[in-house]
Structure 1
Amino acid sequence: MADITSANSTLLIGISGLFTVPQQLQGFSADDAYEMAAVDNKEISLGVDGVLSAGWIPAVKVLSVTLQADSASNTFFETWFASEEAARTPYFGFGVITQPSINRIYTLTNGVLKNYTPLAQAAKTLRPRKFEIHFQTVLGAPT
């Protein structure tokens, strides 16, 4: 039987000039912790004669992080966002994701906070907050 638990995964993010020591994010949503979107890094064209052509293009790697409304890590994103608002310039982040159950580690470089949820939606209970970071590179390796 294979172990694919995500409960022992970790996500650490640092921000150049702000949080130079990476912070371990905690208090993830019950159903979603983080998600890396699929990467679309090819331009493809099929000629009228049926010959396929393709070329590599650079692609942004999009990481979505979903935190419970009461997560202490919401403050990390609030600080990142407020610092950028005050400075009127982006702060670039970096990070590491470890997934021990599958013996993988991922290094994230040159990321910017692209989407920010300022507060939790109020319903029966406060809903999770979602944040989106766009990274230049994501490199995986065995641990």
Structure 2
Amino acid sequence: MSGIITSADVVATMTVTNLYPSGFQLQGFSADNIFDANSLELAETVIGVDGKLSAGAIMAAVDQTWHIMPDSPTYTKFQTWSTTSRTSIAVFRCNATIIFPTHGKKYTCTNGVLVNCQVMAGAGKTVQPITALIRWETVIPSEYSA
């Protein structure tokens, strides 16, 4: 559908090796943000003293920051994942699928790692969302139709 920019219908599912192998749906996002992702760096460049630009393709990870409300079941999953990683001194790999039905897009995220997660939510007038950063080896876009 053209002209519609809603993200209210986004469906994200994730598996975490040895913690949530059967997967879970991410839900309970902050009012203003579901997630952010960085731009993918594709090349490294250098310009020589003679003014000629040289470039080379590089591989780079994609950082994705999730914004999760403290009353969400996903909040508990991220807290458990973070605590288990810390106490067992281990890294748990994850994979995710993110679907934007209105936009007809699907993103397959592979070989991710939870890089950081807020230990506790901030408290103001209300308890604030937490953030959790996952670093993906790859994020592959594709077309989607229901």
Shorter-normalised TM range:
over 0.9
Question: For 1:43-82, what aligned pairs fall within 5 Å after superposition?
Answer: 43-82=44-83
Q: How many residues matched?
A: 143
Q: Distance in 2 between matches of 1:119 and 1:110?
A: 26
**CA apart distance, 1:16:** 1.1
Stretches of structure 1 lacking an aligned partner (at least 5 in a row): none
| Greater shift in the superposed pair: 26-35 or 41-50 | 41-50
Which residue number in structure 1 is paired with residue 141 of structure 2?
140
Tell me whether 1:128 sits opposite 2:126 in the alignment: no
State the match for 1:32 in structure 2: 33
Deviation at 1:79, TM superposition (A): 1.4
Q: Is there any run of 5+ residues in structure 2 with no aligned partner, and where?
A: none
Give percent identity, aligned residues only: 34
Residue 117 (structure 2) aligns with: 116
In structure 2, C-alpha distance between the alignment counterparts of 1:54 and 1:22, rounded to whole Å = 40
Query: Normalising by structure 1, what TM-score?
Result: 0.95
- Root mean square deviation, CA, Å: 1.1
1:86 paired residue number? 87
Q: How many Å separate the matches in 1 of 2:139 and 2:91?
A: 19
CA separation in 2, counterparts of 1:42 and 1:115?
26
- The answer to whether the aligner puts 1:95 opposite 2:78 as a matched pair is no
SS of the equivalent of 1:74 reads helix
Does 87-96 or 47-56 show the bigger shift?
47-56
**TM-score, normalising length: structure 2:** 0.93
SS in 1 for 2:76: helix
**What is the CA-CA distance between 1:40 and the residue it aligns to?**
1.8
Q: Deviations over 1:4-57 (max 9, x none)?
A: 210001111110111112210111000011111112232101122221111111
Cα distance in 1 for partners of 2:96, 2:121 equals 24
